Every structure is written in structure tokens, then in C-alpha cells.
Amino acid sequence: MDAITESWRRGAARMNNALLDCYEAIADASGGMLAAARRSDWNGLVAAERDCAASIDLLKSVQECAPPLDPAGRRRKVAILRKVLANDAEIRTLTQPWLARLQDMLSATATPPQPLAEACR
């Protein structure tokens, strides 16, 4: 193997590691979101969601120049994505009741007041 090919191979491996590190960062952020949702810490959930969005943005830029993953890298990526999806499903289960209550509160406050004549009937 010549020096150029070897250098390219090492560079590709570094990019693949960076790519998988981005996926891991997304999984970590989704784990933080889940932990916050379990505590009903909605501010913490929003902060972790921002971290997750930043990790996704980084992933998009790294993906543009990373070569395709090898089979082991693809398996690791799939395992990470399954974890993220499981976290997301549990987050939705935990937040749906809170979102429904919030919607009810917003609907109640959005109801226009009745004219006095109608209220006295």
C-alpha cells in the first residue's frame, strides 16, 4: 500500500469515528432529555433538546465529507439510532399528558369572555 492510500485510509477512519461520535452525542443528549422528562424538569428537557439539535447540526456537516461506514460502523450507527428512537418514544409517553394539560389551560384562557347580559341569563 502506498503512502497516499494509507494516509487516505487513516483520514477516512478518523472521519468515520467523528461521524459515530456525533451519533453518540445525539444519543447522550436524548438520554438527557429522557432523564429531564422523567423528573418533569421541562426547562431541563428544553436545554437538552437544544444540545441534541446542536449535535444534529454537527452531524450534518460531518456527514457531508465522511466516507460510507464499514459494516461494523453501520451496525454501531443502527444501535445508536435504536437507542435514540427508544428514548424519543419514552419522552413522548412522559410528555403527552403534560402537553394535553397545557393545551387545556391555553384553551381555557383563550375563551373570550361572555357579554354580561348572556352571563346573567
Please indicate, yes or no, if residue 112 is contained in any of the structural domains: no
- What is the Cα–Cα distance from 22 to 57, expressed in whole angstroms? 9
Which residue range is the domain that position 80 belongs to?
3-97
Please indicate, yes or no, if residue 87 is contained in any of the structural domains: yes
Q: What is the pLDDT of residue 105?
A: 79
Higher-pLDDT residue of 53, 68: 53
Please indicate, yes or no, if residue 107 is contained in any of the structural domains: no
Q: How many alpha carbons fall within 13 Å on the CB side of residue 20? A: 19
Higher-pLDDT residue of 4, 21: 21
Grid cell 459515530 is found at: 20
Please indicate, yes or no, if residue 118 is contained in any of the structural domains: no
Question: The domain spanning residue 54 has which CATH number?
Answer: 1.20.58.380
User: How many structural domains are present in the chain?
Assistant: 1
pLDDT in tens, 15-51: 778 899 999 999 999 999 999 999 999 999 999 999 9
Please indicate, yes or no, if residue 91 is contained in any of the structural domains: yes
Mean local confidence (pLDDT), 4-13:
54
**pTM for the complete prediction?**
0.72
